[in-house]
Structure 1
Amino acid sequence: MPTNIPATPYRKHAQLARPAVGEFHRHELAILGAPCGKIKELVTRLLPHLEPVLRVAYVDADHAAGDDAAQGGAGGQDAILQAGASAELTDKITFTRLDLKRGFDKFAQQEWLHHQSLVLVNGNHFRARQQIAILDPAKPLQKKLDRLTDVRLLLLPEGVTEVPDYLQEHLASAGVPILPLADTEAIAALVLQEWRQQRPPVRGLVLAGGQSQRMGEDKGRLAYHGQEQRAYAAKLLAPFCEDVLVSCRPEQVAELEAAGLAPLPDTFAGLGPMSGILSAFQLDPDAAWLVVACDLPFLSETTLTHLLQHRHAGRMATAYQSPENEWPEPLITIWEPRAYGTLLRFLSIGYSCPRKALINFDIELLHAPAPAELRNINTPEQRDAATQELG
């Protein structure tokens, strides 16, 4: 007899959370409303004010190369690409240039640019989620109003004193600030302010899914402070984060729920700490994750406060230097959203060590106010000594 069991909805692809990325980046600003030369000149003026804080990329188009190609030329390609190479990587000593013969699709653009903190875009050629509009009479915006979807700033060139009626009507009551185009410092300050206001929220992650082979028992269930260490670590993180999850193996979910904790089972298996970090980013790729190992019984609110106060969201991560060597400590670190792609890339070439990613990319490396608090307790001997020291 037929049963009335409801059918599971068919999904062709996995239901993954996609990062909130625009055309090029999660933080992007198109500048339009002026000739291309003026836009590039503005970016050139802004960069010395932005670069001490942010890593900034600029996206533009090359008019000369396009004109040359339209007239039957090589379109700016050098001899190697003309001869048939699909790519040419050139070490220019002070920077590296990569020329690709194939088309640079949207996904490749985002992958290459995700290492930046901010992308400024020539809005005459490309769109971006947010915009800066220059009110240059030589480049009126009537025909580009569809590109003005989220204007963050209006700039008045010398001699321009009013916003045109058509633009006022388009912007309605948006309350967009207005600055002189020549006031570089004020423009840069507003861009930085906007970027800081859009910093990703911080969520907490306690790593408690390890096998604890050296300890011989589950390190997360040890009680140095009158409760299981995984619960103590989650309580310690709570004031600093929107919420706190506990990374675990799938078979640990029930016991964590029974203990009143929020489990996050590993979806990347067998990768050590990398399993928990990647699983967190798979759940929410738009959050910054404050990751703490469960085997840090000496960790205090003071050390966490210092880490959050010195967080640099413009870097891939903010981490403490290990008290044992000069390397960053990956298991008490704020990982920013752009770390997700970097960790996946390291995994794709055979590295599952999150410290390797910290060493090889731009991070904010801090000296811990109390280095002894970063001690990992991994063996029975260390456990006994820590228990005695903590009283």
Structure 2
Amino acid sequence: MGVCGVVLAGGRSRRMGSPKAALEWDGATLLQRTVDVLGHHGDRVLVVAAPGQLLTVTGAEVVHDAVADQGPLQGLATGLARAGELGAETAFVCATDMPLLHPALVTAVLAARGPEVEPRPDVVMPVDADHEHPLAAAYATALAGPAAELLAAGERRVRALGARCRVRRITRAELLADPALAAADPELDSLLNVNTPAELAAARQRHRPGDRRC
């Protein structure tokens, strides 16, 4: 298995006021929808939860962080480690709060870390309007070790991992040069995340009813 999907779902959702993974989206939960999207691109999808967090989801294996409240870098390390154990060399890692994520975006990002790419980047990270998206990116599962080392040193930011590896930052123009992505998601709504009820409402306004994007 070359590719694994990893969904980080262990955040506290403080600004949303309720668990984002359980939010309703087009007849399913936000978490289930994200798992379904990633299920198109690998033999396995992992959901990383906080210690003791109970999640209801089908089509994915739930793994739990060993330590609570260590931020997204902990979830990344947990997901990459398990994906590596399953035999994957690449993981597409995203947050559970990306309701408009489209499979075409996942495909385009993974292609930029394909085995034929030389020199092969350790991370492929979308950049839109100078904003990096480390939680909509492709990672070498071998980065589980460096991520764990950063955590042991007290680091909690995902971006800190970039200083220790080869990162390809893929721009909006490069992404939209992919005809399939340009047709399916010309505004790159895939990269939107929702942290508040207002942002969720805005995403619903952009969503076409019945379009599950998968």
Shorter-chain TM-score bucket reads 0.7 to 0.9
- Provide structure 1 residue ranges, at least 5 long, that are not aligned to the other structure: 1-199
| Contact 1:277–1:291 under 8 Å retained in 2 | yes
C-alpha spacing 1:260/1:243, structure 2 compared with 1 (3 Å): closer
Which of 230, 235, 260 matches 2:31? 230
Q: Residue by residue, what CA displacement relative to the aligned partner does 1:115-140 show, whole Å, maximum 9, x if unpaired?
A: xxxxxxxxxxxxxxxxxxxxxxxxxx
C-alpha spacing 1:269/1:366, structure 2 compared with 1 (3 Å): same
How far apart, CA to CA, are the structure 2 residues paired with 1:374 and 1:352? 22
The aligned runs of 1:41-56 (5 Å cut-off) are none
Which of 92, 107, 111 matches 1:305? 107
Task: Specify which structure has the bigger relative contact order, considering alpha-carbon pairs within 8 angstroms and separated by 6 or more residues.
Answer: 2
The aligned runs of 1:123-272 (5 Å cut-off) are 201-253=2-54, 255-256=55-56, 261-272=60-71
Q: Secondary structure at the match of 1:295?
A: coil
Q: Which has the larger radius of gyration?
A: 1
| Contact 2:20–2:96 under 8 Å retained in 1 | yes
| Contact 1:231–1:261 under 8 Å retained in 2 | no
| Contact 2:39–2:59 under 8 Å retained in 1 | no
1:315 aligned onto 2:116 = no
| Contact 1:329–1:355 under 8 Å retained in 2 | no
| Contact 1:330–1:358 under 8 Å retained in 2 | no
- Provide structure 2 residue ranges, at least 5 long, that are not aligned to the other structure: 177-186, 210-214
The aligned runs of 1:94-109 (5 Å cut-off) are none
Q: Residue by residue, what CA displacement relative to the aligned partner does 1:160-201 show, whole Å, maximum 9, x if unpaired?
A: xxxxxxxxxxxxxxxxxxxxxxxxxxxxxxxxxxxxxxxx71
Q: Residue by residue, what CA displacement relative to the aligned partner does 1:34-67 show, whole Å, maximum 9, x if unpaired?
A: xxxxxxxxxxxxxxxxxxxxxxxxxxxxxxxxxx
Identity %: 26
Q: Which residue identity lines up with residue 241 of structure 1 in the other structure?
A: G
How far apart, CA to CA, are the structure 2 residues paired with 1:207 and 1:238? 15
Instruction: Give the structure-1-normalised TM-score.
Output: 0.44
Q: Which runs of at least 4 in structure 1 moved beyond 4 Å after TM superposition?
A: none
1:351 aligned onto 2:155 = yes
How far apart, CA to CA, are the structure 2 residues paired with 1:331 and 1:384? 21
What is the CA-CA distance between 1:277 and the residue it aligns to? Answer: 1.5
| Contact 1:278–1:343 under 8 Å retained in 2 | yes
1:371 aligned onto 2:204 = no
How far apart, CA to CA, are the structure 2 residues paired with 1:339 and 1:262? 20
Aligned length: 188
Q: Which residue identity lines up with residue 317 of structure 1 in the other structure?
A: V
| Contact 2:51–2:67 under 8 Å retained in 1 | no
Corresponding residue for residue 130 of structure 2: 325
How far apart, CA to CA, are the structure 2 residues paired with 1:245 and 1:281? 9
| Contact 1:268–1:279 under 8 Å retained in 2 | no
Q: Residue by residue, what CA displacement relative to the aligned partner does 1:311-369 show, whole Å, maximum 9, x if unpaired?
A: 25532212211x2525x311111110331222123223321111222255311221243
C-alpha spacing 1:245/1:284, structure 2 compared with 1 (3 Å): closer
How far apart, CA to CA, are the structure 1 residues paired with 2:196 and 2:136? 19
| Contact 2:83–2:91 under 8 Å retained in 1 | no
Which of 67, 76, 87 matches 1:277? 76
C-alpha spacing 1:382/1:284, structure 2 compared with 1 (3 Å): closer
1:290 aligned onto 2:89 = no
| Contact 1:312–1:364 under 8 Å retained in 2 | no
Q: CA-atom RMSD, angstroms?
A: 2.2
Q: Which residue identity lines up with residue 27 of structure 2 in the other structure?
A: G
| Contact 1:268–1:276 under 8 Å retained in 2 | no
Corresponding residue for residue 206 of structure 2: 389
C-alpha spacing 1:324/1:348, structure 2 compared with 1 (3 Å): farther
Q: Which residue identity lines up with residue 23 of structure 2 in the other structure?
A: L
C-alpha spacing 1:387/1:359, structure 2 compared with 1 (3 Å): farther
What is the CA-CA distance between 1:261 and the residue it aligns to? Answer: 4.3
What is the CA-CA distance between 1:276 and the residue it aligns to? Answer: 1.8
Corresponding residue for residue 138 of structure 1: none
Q: Secondary structure at the match of 2:46?
A: strand
What is the CA-CA distance between 1:301 and the residue it aligns to? Answer: 1.4
Instruction: Give the structure-2-normalised TM-score.
Output: 0.78
